Structure formats: C-alpha cells, structure tokens
Structure 1
C-alpha cells in the first residue's frame, strides 16, 4: 500500500503579544490543531497510523477494552469541543473542556495501561499546545505534562466490578430506593419507556450494558462514567426536569461506591423498583420457563397478526401493557415475544384455541374484570373475534416480527397498504409535529412541493425552492446507479420524502436533540432518517447560503435516502456508504475535512475486532459513516461491479437484504466486512 504522510511542524514561531494570538489566521491554526492534530494524512489505496501514534512493526496493538475505549472517546470529545469553542472565541468554554480532558487523562493514568497511553498520546500532545494558547488568552488551567509511558501491560483494565447476577449489596447508596427513582423520574420517558438515541435502560442490567457506543457506568470511576458526564454538562436530561445537585451527588456516590445493585433481580423493570413492586423483600415474578411458541404463516390464514391483530392491541392496550410505566398484572406487550411470556396469571394465549385463551376471555369479560380497563370502551365483538381466530389458527407470525415492537409492526402494516398520496399526507402531518417539537412556530412554517420532495422550513420560499431543486438534481444523479423504478415520481419514496430546512446550525442541533433524542457531530450540516413512514433529510440552509453550498449538503443524504428506500431491510451503513460514494459527497468536501475523515477511518478500523462490531453499530456515527463509505467504494470496484448490481436489484424485487447481499457477493455482509478489514489492515 502506498502511503503518503505529511507532517506540519511548527518551529521557531515566537508569539510577541496577545494581539498576535488573536490574529484570525493563527486562531484558525490553533483550532485546527485542537480539532485534527498536526498530522495531515493522505491515502492512496491504504491506511496509515496517524502521526504521534506509537507503533512497533514487530508487535500488533491489542484492542482496547470497553472502559479504555470510553475514556479515549470522552477525551477526544472534550478536545474537539475545546477546539470548536476556541475557534468561536469562547475561551472559557474551551478551557472548561480542556480541564475535563486533563482530569480524564489523570484517571486513565491510574490504570497504568501502555495501550491506553498510546491511544491517548496524540490527544495529550494537542492538549499541551492548546493549554499554551489558552493561557495566552488569560485562561487559567491546571498544570499538565505528558506522563511517561507505563510498561507494557498484559491484562486489560478492570471491567465493571458490579455483578448483575451476584448477591444483592446493602452497603452505601441504595440503587433500588435512591438511584432508580431518579433515573425513572428524569430519564424515564426517553430511555426507560423508550430508546431515544438507540439507548434503552429499562432494567439495571441494560443500564450497565450501555448503548452500542459503549458502557456509560464504570463502577468506582465517576470521571469515566458517561452517565455522570452528560448530566454534569447539562446535555441530559432534555426537555426539562433537570437533575438537582443533591440527586447528582447521590448518583456520583453510587458510582464511586461501585455502582452496586441491592435488588433481587437485575432484569426487573426500573419502574417496578421505583414503585416498590420489586424490592429486596418482594422478589420479582419469574418469567415462565417455556413461553408460548408460535409458528410461521402458511398463507392459508384468514387473519394477519401485523395487519389485523397488532393494530388492535396497540390502540387498546397502550398505557397499561404497552409503553407502560407500570405494567398491569405483570403483562408486557411492547413486543409479541413479551406477550407470549405471559404475566402474573401465566400464559395469555393457547395457540389453536382462541376462546380458551386468557387474552380473549379478558376481552370478553368472562374471566374477571373486562379489558381494556381504565374506563376505555370494550372492543367490538368483531374485533375480539379477529384476535380469537388468529389464536385458533395457531397464532402464526413471521419470525422477524416476534421481537419487533408492536407499534413498528402496526406502522409497517399501514405503510404496506397505504397509497403514496396517503403516505405523503402522513409525512406532512409528521413534519408539522416534529417542527413543533423542535420549538418552531408552525404558523410561520413554509412548504414547497417538487416531484419527489416536500420541503419544509421557517425560511423564505426562494430558499425552499433552491433546496428542492438541489434535491431533485441529487436524486437524478443517484438514480443512474440504481435499478429502474416504476410508477409516478411520488411512488419513488412511497410518498414524497420530506426535507427539513433549518436556517442555523443551532436550529439543526436542537432539532436532532428534541426530535431524534441525540446530539449530532459538530461538523454535520445535514443527515437523513428513514423508517418507512418517516423519510426525511434535515439540512442547514440559511438565506445567505449559496446554491453550491446547499447542493453540497443535500447530495449525499438524498442519495442515501434513495438507496435505503429500494427494498425492505436495507441497513443504514449500506445506504449511507453507497449514497455518499455514488454522489461524490466525499470528494466535494474541502481538503482539511477529507483529511479529518481519513484520520477517522484510521481510528475506526483500529478500534474494531470484527465486522460484526461495525454492523452492530459499535462505532460513533462519524466514524461509522466514514467506514461505510470506504466499504461501499470497495463494492463499487470493477471486480465487484456485477455482484454489486445484483445486491441493488434483488431487494427491490422483494428479497431481504442479507439474502440479496449473499446472492450477489457470494458471502454474507459480516464475511465481506471481515475480509475488507483484513485487507486494509
């Protein structure tokens, strides 16, 4: 592999006064130093380690353990935050971020891990330079010197000392009576009864497992615990109801004391712990050893679970058994798998005999109180008969739907039966709801319609029209690479796709926080989302933005949206990578941005153990996206072109993506990514 590495070395530069430091060119240099380091790496067919990373050709660095990876990501995040604040002239915020990074490095030093030291070394060098620049701006910072490299370690840093399966602890802060109530009260709507940002923590076990990005609670280590950091910085919780100082102190003490669990069952719902249903003296009701099993549909059934039964359950059981803070009778029905496990009274279904099933008897009122409760009207006889018939016919359902949330099953069923015009109308309603949630004045919301898109925003009609024209041009370019699609323009996305235009970067960031429940990377100016019903691109486009700027921001997400909508189950990594590759989205970026992305690719590849980690979302968004582009580019190579065409063609004809990929490339997606990783390493 040919690798070209250019080092920018600053020698003999003397800063005479603060006036010199404030010169725009030097400030930009300092910010770039913080954000990207002093290594400029370009690639030609390969991947090179970033400058400053200690390497030894005779040894291969061991992958970092989960705790070390979290520390590296946290330090990197603070250093980037410091750079962004410095570039904007906010030196105090920059200093605060740098102080946190220094504290986190001190924690890392206690581990005496040579591998962790090597991973942090480039950031530590940037901190030294940044500290000097900030002190010239009058910011007081703690002393910092790069520590000596520890001797090579043979064991990874200690993982969580909290054993969810061990005996309950009664020492220190109580998780059941003190911590769980705080989490339910402050985090319940987003992460306990929901999974905003891909993170759900309905139980202690899930909390300690953390989101796909990594562990958020490290027993004994407050600094490394992302849960504490996001609360301290004010990033969480969102939408009101901030954590008080006393509550934060309680959480910190719990983490410092080892993040111990003092309940009987770490898999019990936190909501039941809070309400006292599962305390150390009241064991949680065990799940049946063998939940009710269901079979696959034969095609001869008269009632469909997804089209007939799931919508009835979602409409009538939400609040008590679906999306319930406290489930009634121990029966959860967020998924069919949960419903099959039954509740306090055992199984609620007897496949093959609907009328003998407790679910049907409860709906008819022949077995105790009639359901639904709470003053809701009873189901009609026809609706109850539908459920009974489905059970009598064997309660058949496609295996993929057993673990799928019933609300998603219902939405997908509606989507498959709806006309494109109906979907367009639904997306218009969603657009208004989501702008309202993001704090926009919907009375000032403008709308522009084009062949394939409905463009929304609190900007001028001229700006909306420019965005629409850019999106149509981007789609036209993307369609050259995609199989031909029949039908009208409105049918391409099964209803017009939405484009949300946000006039300022702040508005864009707030939209992501309030609507999607996540923070987007600082450099993002646009992104896309698709779940069938929702199909949109969110983009920053002010009145002053040029046509070229707008086109550059919408081209890749529009292409990705076109790819993901070509078939059922097309994964995000594939759509993101291919959309960016075929749109030329990477080449349109400036040189510095492309070099940062190359560095992200180096880091991403080095942090993965296998292709499975990548496909399961173990990387931060910006690194995952960069790696997805590199994989897509390899798929587009001449030797893979024929098989790749089949991968694109088969999902559109109804074949699930994993089978379509294997049929086209003669290997599974995991096997392909594993092979690609071996090649680039």
Structure 2
C-alpha cells in the first residue's frame, strides 16, 4: 500500500479484527431476546410499541424513539434498561436479570454497529404445540409473561406481586404454599383459569380489556387439563391438601359454574348462599382432585 502510513494501518486492522469477532443479531442477540424479552415485547400489545421480535422492529424503537444507537452502547436505552441504569430494570420479571456476560454481549453488539449477521442462524422465538402434541409450559409461558407477569412478579407494575402470587416462572405459577391457583388436571378448580375467563372478579389481566383471546385461554386450559406439564413435558403433582379460594356463580345443582363441590355437615354456610348468587368458596383439594368446601358465602 504505497504511501500509506503504517502507523494508521494498525488501528484499521485492529478495528477489522474486532468487527469480525463481534456478536451479530441473528446468531447471538435474537436468541437472547427470544428467551428473556419476547414474552412481553412482541406482537401488537408490546409495551410502548417496542417490539424485539425482529431486527427491523428493534431498530424502529418505541413510541419514545430509538432504543439502540450504533456504536453508542452507553447511550442506548436498551442497554440502560438491562443494566438498571434506567428504571424499571428489564426484564420486568427479574430477578434474575440478564447475566453480566449476556449484558456484555449486547453492549459489544451495539458498539460494533449492530451487525445483522446471517439470517439463517435465527431460531424460532415462541414454540407452539403441534397437532397431537401435549401442551407444556413452553407453550403458555409467553402468554403468562406478556399479560400476567407484568404485575405478578417481584418488581411488577404494582410493586410486589398481588397477594404474593408470581407468574414469572413455572415453579411460581404452580406454587401452592399459601393456596393453589393451578390444579393440574382440573381447570375449573384452578383460580387462574376462573380469573382469565371472567368467572371470578376482578377478571384478569387487570389491565384488560383487551383480555386474553379465546385461543390463549383455551391453550392455558388445555395445559392445566393435561397436567400442567413443565417445559420437559412432565406432569405436575397434585397438591393434595392445598387451600383453594374460588369465586363464581352457584347453580341449582350446587355447582360453581359447573364445578362439582363437596359440601357436607362440616361446611360453613354464610349469608344464605342461593342458586344464581355470586359466591366465594374456601376449601381444600382432596386426593381425587376435588374441592372439599370448608366455607361458602356470598360475595
């Protein structure tokens, strides 16, 4: 390279090498966003219109403007949210937040100029059950995180999770220490289902309408009906003896919106509950997955 100063060549070679080793969107960033961000930031209901389900959408930014600036990671709102220098820190369902190595990956990608990489390296973002395939947690996780965990998480929009119930992980969703909201194999006895159907008030998600679509509700119902399987396809154990608290309409047969109730001489009846009334049921889950009523009262 005649006449080109060698002292200027070295920085150029170093920059080219750094760019060659830089993360790319399709190979490195897209899978990370899919696993931690797309549950909320995808589709028409993405907060502030910020969709992270494609490079084009990410570059478009939110209603407030761009969230990444090529070559300027420190000035990019995406990175600031991931580190917590802008609040609320993301993902909203954290902790756990992204690991330091994952945040560093995003920082390097932005500083390298947002290289796209090979689109063939992209992975499917949100799995859907194939015909005949059992529904497991992977198939409902995105719905729960996008529409429910925004409040029902340790640092949600309402602060602490309402009534301590978190929907930010499989274990939290199935937790039954205080009371069970999911009864594997019995959607009608699951408080979660009754809330998203509107059988129990207030209907959830609390920021609805829009509420969950019929297809989304049906998928969650199928998941619970098939045993509330984890991401590996293992059915959840029945939380025998767990407390339940259900709301709904009492019918002529003494059922709660069609759900059979075990009522006996030990059941406490308050306020003369009658058919057609909106009532609260407190009880426990027996070994057969049935609701043994301890108290029934008007609401």
Instruction: Give the alignment's TM-score, normalised by structure 2.
Output: 0.35
Higher relative contact order (CA 8 A, sep 6+): 2
Instruction: Give the alignment's TM-score, normalised by structure 1.
Output: 0.16
